Amino acid sequence: MLISVRKRFVFVANTKTASTSIDFVLAAHAEIMRAGSPERKHMRLGDVAAEYWSLFNNPKFPFDSFFKFGVMREPISWINSWYRYRRGNNTASPLPADMTFEEFWRSGDWNTQRPGGKKYLQSNFFTDAAGKNLADVIIPYERMDDYIPQIFSALKVPHTLPRKNVSQMRETPLQVSPEFLAEMREFYQPDYAIYDRLDEINAVGMEKLSAMVNR
């Protein structure tokens, strides 16, 4: 997570969405940076507002005056990316090399369920406790090339992203039954409720960014 007071942006680092590469470029322009452990780096936007209340309660720096953005991946592609990353890389919690995706899904792994049975969702990075979106722009991972140049140009930072923290396993589409696919889509319904509205959300957010630049 990064906050730039001077450039008025908050970047939320969702997992498995090139956040390490984006952090690498933006960190030089941020006065506040949460790095290190995943728990520190991958901070929810609602928690950012709460933890840094002393900044955002200052009349000069209200929360809504910041351009708040992050990246979101198509939900099933996202969990597949986690599966490939943990099966093909030297991680803190590797998966067995012979574990199938369905075995991974059925295992109740922390990538899907958190303590108490709470779902691990991308949308939680961008919404408040009531499910209201707090971000101005949520870049679709699949369309980063459309958004990153525009946003970085407006923020006056370099446009080229390095490749960081990538999976060693080649990305391949999941081969699963229609029933299993429907089960996963139902599980990720809160994520799809945001993901399917990204064009609508981002149109408003990009207008805000343009207005900030042209002040």
What residue ranges define each of the domains in the chain, with the CATH number in brackets? 2-213 (3.40.50.300)
Question: What gap in Å lies between CA 76 and CA 25, rounded to an integer?
Answer: 27
162 pLDDT more than 70: no
Question: What gap in Å lies between CA 156 and CA 209, rounded to an integer?
Answer: 12
Q: What is the pLDDT of residue 214?
A: 82
Q: Which of 190, 166, 188, 202 is nearest to 75 (CA)?
A: 188
Q: What is the pLDDT of residues 26-74, one digit of tens each?
A: 999 999 998 777 778 899 999 999 999 999 999 999 999 999 999 999 9
Element (H, E) at 3: strand 2-4
Q: What is the pLDDT of residues 119-153, one digit of tens each?
A: 999 999 999 988 899 999 999 999 999 999 999 99
Residue 114 backbone phi and psi in degrees, to 5: -105, 170
Write the DSSP symbol of residue 67.
E
Say what percent of the chain tops pLDDT 70. Answer: 95
CB atoms within 10 A of CB 158: 11
Q: Which of 61, 43, 56, 1 is nearest to 26 (CA)?
A: 1
